[in-house]
A and B are shown apart, each in its own frame.
Chain A
Amino acid sequence: QLQLQESGPGLVKPSETLSLTCTVSGGSISSSSYYWGWIRQPPGKGLEWIGSIYYSGSTYYNPSLKSRVTISVDTSKNQFSLKLSSVTAADTAVYYCARHNVEVFGVVLLYFDYWGQGTLVTVSS
């Protein structure tokens, strides 16, 4: 059974960089059929896609966050990571990692079928 687990600091200061890692177990992150994504949810609000990455390093980002987001992959550790720079209180949210189904040839991003449990990151001084 595929499992994903987010890890990283639960508290980040304003203007600093939020860094999270997602560890995938029960399957290979190098599978040719999937991207791997980050989604966040501010307290009491809806879901927002941050971005997704292929094992080769190919990425797609939410245009509204693109200038501050970097997603990377480490296939040797079966992990992918999120960095969000210049954070403010508006970036306080539960951050989820998930497996992202795609149409690989002529990339079309489809749906998320396996999710981590989520981790709350609070931006505060």
Chain B
Amino acid sequence: SYELTQPPSVSVSPGQTARITCSGDALPKQYAYWYQQKPGQAPVLVIYKDSERPSGIPERFSGSSSGTTVTLTISGVQAEDEADYYCQSADSSGTSVVFGGGTKLTVL
């Protein structure tokens, strides 16, 4: 079955830039999406279609794509950004959804 691979954890100091990667063979063909999830809360969409930002999401959140890897970048990380981040996409047919395993972002 199709898988998306994320690093389990990323740590950054406040004000620094955090980069979280997500790799998958179908990513050149399918869009990627990113969700932020804080403890006890539902996930929140922070990036859609590789690099688009929903309304209400701070400009410090951005997304990019290169081949089989997509990257979520958080510039000027703030303490409130500490959360789990999940990438999501579809398989090559576009009819089966897959989530990455999640990355825990720790703000030191």
Do chains A and B stick together as partners? yes
Interface positions of A (Cβ within 8 A of B) = 37, 39, 46-49, 52, 60, 62-64, 96, 101, 103, 107-113, 115-118
Interface positions of B (Cβ within 8 A of A) = 1, 30-31, 33, 35, 37, 42-45, 48-49, 54, 86, 88, 90, 94-102
Chain A residues with Cβ below 8 Å from B1 are 63-64
In angstroms, how far is the closest chain A Cβ from the Cβ of B56? 11
Q: A109-B90, A111-B45 are in contact. Are A63 and B96 (CB under 8 A)?
A: yes
Which residue of B is nearest A47, CB measured? B99
In angstroms, how far is the closest chain A Cβ from the Cβ of B60? 20
Main secondary structure of the interface of A (DSSP, over half): strand
Contact indicator A115/B95 (Cβ below 8 Å): no
Q: A108-B95, A109-B90, A110-B31 are in contact. Are A47 and B102 (CB under 8 A)?
A: yes
Beyond known contacts A47-B43, A48-B99: 17 more, CB 8 A cutoff = A39-B99, A46-B99, A46-B100, A46-B101, A47-B86, A49-B97, A49-B99, A60-B95, A60-B96, A101-B48, A109-B90, A109-B96, A110-B90, A113-B45, A113-B48, A115-B44, A117-B42
